[in-house]
Amino acid sequence: MDNALYTVSVPAAREAPLVPPPRDRTRALKRHLVESLRDLREARRPEKLIQPRSPQPQGFAADVVRAGCTQCQGHCCRGGGEHAYIDERTMARVRQAHPDLDAAAIIALYMSHIAEQAYEGSCLFHGRNGCTLAQPLRAELCNQYYCNGLWDFLKLRPLPKHVEVLASNPQTKRRSVVKAVKPEDGTDWE
């Protein structure tokens, strides 16, 4: 597998225009955030809701994942709508990381990250360059989700050194090639 070109197939999101988020959608997100914080406040043992963040791919694997998500352009983000998969578990993690922020400040933090131009019909945080939320603010579902093509790639051992990422649907086909660079310090690949 050393010199062979390995193909990772990812879905290609439908072509959608970038638009300023409509006011009704941003209001719906704000209501959802309020409800999520309320659910957290009403939880009997809120500390049990905190989900540890999933480890993220590193090095070449991270490069391939980034290329895959870039070529796909957010097929999985379309389901985020006005909730971005954020719930009381996400809020528990954010409250733990930011004990100095009250509920209003947390809501303001999220609202300030809404994409100025979001893909129509997709998650409100789905902007031209991907997710506008930093990973610590994202729902854990978003941090740990990989489409089948990327998931299959991440399970390979050893990882291939030359990868073609192919995103396609009936209307679109996008491609990129990612090559591993041997570490200069003489350590092994990966």
For 48-80, what is each residue's pLDDT tens digit?
A: 999 888 889 999 999 999 889 888 888 899 999
Q: Measuring CA to CA, which residue among 113, 114, 117, 123 is closest to residue 75?
A: 123
**Mean pLDDT throughout 101-119?**
97
Q: How many helices (H) and strands (E) does the chain have?
A: 6, 7
Helix, strand, coil share of the chain (percent; to 5)? 40, 15, 45
Q: How confident is the model at residue 182 (pLDDT cuts 50, 70, 90)?
A: low
pLDDT at 189 over 50: no
Other C-beta atoms closer than 10 Å to the C-beta of 56 total: 11
% residues pLDDT > 70 (the chain) = 93
Mean pLDDT comparison of 23-37, 45-59, 68-82, 127-141, highest-scoring range: 23-37
